[in-house]
Amino acid sequence: MMYHHDSRDYDFALSEAAKTMRDRLHGNIEFARNSNERAIERIKAEVPQDKIVRARAMTFDYNKDGKFAVQYKTPGSAITPVVEETVHKWAFGQIAEFARVPKNYLQHLMGLYEAVPGGMYNWGAKLACENLNQIFAHTETEEKRLLRSVETEARGFLSTKYKRRHPGHLIDGFAGACKQFDLLPYTVTATDTKHMVRAVLDGIVEPVPNECLGIGVVYAESPYGNGATSVSIFIERMWCTNQAVLSTDLRSAHVGGRLSDDFAWSEETYLADTKATIFQVRDMMEAYVSPPAIRRLCATVKLAHETKIEPKQLEAFIKKNLTKENAEAVADVYRSADVEMLPAGNTVWRASNALSFFAGKVEDEELRFDIQKLAGQLLEPMAKVVEKGKK
């Protein structure tokens, strides 16, 4: 049961504004249908292929197409040709971290790279590769890494302790939990290294008069270590689709016993970990969409709507978590006279919406999600106050 802003115990808000916003919510769902289907197809198709490779067996160079690549032989393949894979920018950062070489330094050197006929390149790119090759050649003899690839692109360079789970099974498990809790599929985003799936309750809440919100859960997963598995609750201001994400991750799902790293294990071997994660996802969703949880969330928004925020406090928060350019843009949004896209007043609720409104303008899907989580972070102190008052 969800509650209206007054004392009446409605399942959903029944104001005319809420009815209009519910229609808009269903319109958003229908509008996203085709792109959602394509994203799910991509997630299920791009199941990573795993190889456990000794660090000393890897070398780095530019391939004939002028792309940075890793070469290696798989264990026990003395007569097998060297495997070559291009390196995704995310895996590149993980390689730099493993080698303890600043990523910015390598990127600077590689920025000096200019492809010319015949595959030649200048001293900067050559020096970057030489740095990595020397470091990897002098690692511990038995040091091994997990390479996770799609086709011929290495997207993850991870510890062999990393828990591997099947993204297709996880998506199906989330979809099953959505049906169980009467959540409607909303939006699906798939990038090279992460995917986010949102589902929404079929109704609108109104914590304060004329402030209509959609509430749902968002499941995020990266098979390549680009963020922990998480199931979070999100709130969307239906007048303008500003979204804030109050995040809880499942980092414990990435920690566990170490499998022997002599070879890559089959999908069946770690299917049990996948199933365990699905159960965790389901349990967290149940907690998020229970009547008490929705009631507390509405109280959190109401408190944020009533709580003033000092300009210096907001400025410090955004400067700490955003680039200088983005922080200035968010500050400009907050200070604007707009009371349609943002709620009125110098409040925590307006500050949160300034972040989520800015996030909606960001093209990069992963950065957008991260900024939406920042919007949720501003609400978390309010949530703690509400939770404390419950006891």
pTM above 0.85, yes or no: no
The answer to whether residue 384 sits within a structural domain is yes
Maximum Cα interatomic distance, the chain, rounded to a whole number of Å: 76
Residue 253 DSSP label: G
Lowest mean pLDDT among 123-127, 211-215, 248-252, 276-280: 248-252
pLDDT range class, residue 141, cuts 50, 70, 90: confident
The answer to whether residue 8 sits within a structural domain is no
CB 52 within 8 A of CB 145: yes
Residues 243 and 334 in one domain: yes
Domain termination site, one of 138, 158, 178: 158
* Residue 196, Cβ density class (10 Å: 0-12 exposed, 13-18 middle, ≥19 buried): buried
The answer to whether residue 3 sits within a structural domain is no
pLDDT tens-digit series, residues 73-97: 866 655 667 899 999 999 999 999 9
Domain termination site, one of 158, 189, 222: 158
Q: What pLDDT sits at residue 278?
A: 84
Residues 176 and 149 in one domain: no
Separation between Cα atoms, residue 304 and residue 300, nearest integer Å: 6
The answer to whether residue 369 sits within a structural domain is yes
For the segment 247-276, the average pLDDT, to the nearest whole number, is 53
- Tally of domains in the chain: 2
Residues 140 and 216 in one domain: no
State which residues form the domain around 345. Answer: 16-43+167-390
pLDDT range class, residue 247, cuts 50, 70, 90: low
Q: What pLDDT sits at residue 76?
A: 60
